């Protein structure tokens, strides 16, 4: 039986690529940017806004909360979270798949067919990868990684009340630098078939 696989990952670790490759091996869909498109469609927010606010940027502070709440007291991040949860549950109900990020490990935690994976790599390897994959910017790669991971940590803790990246929250944690992207995907696919 193939399971639902969720991929949580450090920025620059190659987690998205690992997820896509594992899905190819398993012959199942991989959901990542498709979730963003569906959230945008259901929420009315632009895809770029969702990309920035659906996983790692949290509206914080009293002024942000007051200026971005609707009639029911939900801020934009809360609205996106609610829609995101529904979409992820619907995707999992369709059948075996790989879902990258977006707290899917937490959202689907009650499923017995869930394999929760955390992908990581040493900081130097991650810095080299983001420059190779996303190009150079004015922002130092170390700062880009630090900022992105901090936002993911904050977002994850806010909506799940759990700590992001802690081994006990996952079934397996894989280091793409030590194991390699392709081998990580093979390991995940093998575990998902058990």
Q: How far apart are CA 84 and CA 35, in angstroms?
A: 7
Residues 6+ away with beta carbon under 8 Å from 117 = 5, 6, 7, 8, 170, 171, 172, 173, 174, 188
User: Tell me, what CATH number does 75's domain have?
Assistant: 3.40.50.300
Mean pLDDT value across the chain: 88
pLDDT tens-digit readout, 126-155: 999 999 988 878 889 999 999 989 988 999
Q: How far apart are CA 192 and CA 2, in angstroms?
A: 5
Average pLDDT over residues 156-160: 92
pLDDT tens-digit readout, 7-38: 999 999 999 999 999 999 999 999 998 999 99
What is the helix (H) or strand (E) element at residue 172, kind and residue range? strand 172-175
Checking if the pLDDT of 40 tops 70, the result is yes
Q: Are 192 and 3 in contact (CB under 8 A)?
A: yes
Residue 116: what pLDDT? 97
Total domains in the chain come to 1
Structural domain that includes position 122: 4-193
**pTM score of the predicted model:** 0.87
Task: Enumerate the H helices of the chain as residue ranges.
Answer: 15-26, 33-43, 47-53, 62-67, 76-94, 104-107, 123-134, 141-160, 176-179, 181-193
């Amino acid at each position: 039986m193939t399971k639902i696989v969720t991929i949580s990952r450090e920025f620059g670790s190659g987690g998205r690529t690992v997820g896509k490759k594992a899905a190819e091996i398993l012959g199942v869909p991989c959901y990542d940017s498709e979730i963003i498109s569906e959230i945008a469609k259901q929420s009315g927010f632009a895809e770029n806004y969702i990309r920035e606010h659906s996983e790692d940027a949290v509206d914080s502070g009293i002024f942000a909360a007051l200026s971005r709440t609707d009639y029911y007291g939900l801020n934009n991040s809360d609205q996106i979270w609610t829609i995101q949860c529904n979409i992820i549950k619907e995707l999992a109900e369709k059948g075996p798949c790989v879902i990258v990020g977006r707290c899917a490990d937490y959202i689907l935690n009650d499923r017995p067919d869930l394999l929760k994976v955390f992908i990581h790599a040493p900081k130097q390897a991650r810095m080299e990868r983001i420059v190779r994959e996303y190009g150079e910017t004015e922002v130092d790669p170390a700062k880009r990684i630090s900022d992105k991971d901090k936002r993911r940590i904050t977002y994850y803790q806010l909506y799940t009340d759990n700590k992001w990246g802690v081994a006990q929250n996952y079934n397996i944690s894989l280091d793409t630098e030590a194991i390699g992207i392709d081998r990580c995907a093979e390991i995940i696919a093998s575990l998902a078939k058990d």
